Structure 1
Amino acid sequence: MKAGIVGANGYGGVELVRLLHHHPMVTLDLLVSHSTQGHKITDQYPHLHNILELPLEKLSLNEITDRVDVLFFATPSGVTKEIAPPFVKAGLPCIDLSGDFRLKEGHSYEQWYKKSPAEPEFLDQAVYGLPEIFRERIKDKTFVANPGCYPTAALLGIIPLIKEGIAETTGQIIIDGKTGVSGAGRKLVQGSLFSEINENTKAYNLGSHQHTPEIEQVLTDLHGKDIKVSFNAHLVPMTRGILCTIYAPLKERLADADLVQLYKEAYQDEYFVRIRPEKTWPGTKEVYGTNYCDIGVKVDERTNMVIVVSVIDNLVKGAAGQAIQNMNLLNHWDERTGLDTIPVYP
Structure 2
Amino acid sequence: MEHAKLSAWQLFNLSMIFVIGTSYILLPGGLIADAKQYGWLVFVWATLYGVVLAGFWLYLSSKFPGLSIVQIAVQVLGKWAGGLVSLLYILLFIQIASWVTRNMSDFMHINLMPRTPVPVFHIMILIVCAYAVVKGIESIAMTCELLSVLLFLLFWIPMAVMLKEWDWGNFMVPGVFHPLETFLNTRYVLAFPFMEVVCFMMIFPFAERRLKFSFLSGIAFGGMNLTLGIYFTIGILGVDRASHLVYPVFIIFREMEFTNFIEHLESLLSINILLIVCMKLSLLFYCAVLAICQLFEIKQRAFVAYPLIWIISAYALLFTNIIENVEWTKKYLFEYYTLYAILIPAILIVFARMRKKGQFQGKETMT
The two structures have a TM-score, normalised by structure 2, of 0.24
Structure (1 or 2) with the greater helix fraction: 2
Higher CA-based Rg: 2
Richer in strand (by share):
1
Report which structure shows greater RCO (CA 8 Å, sep ≥6).
2
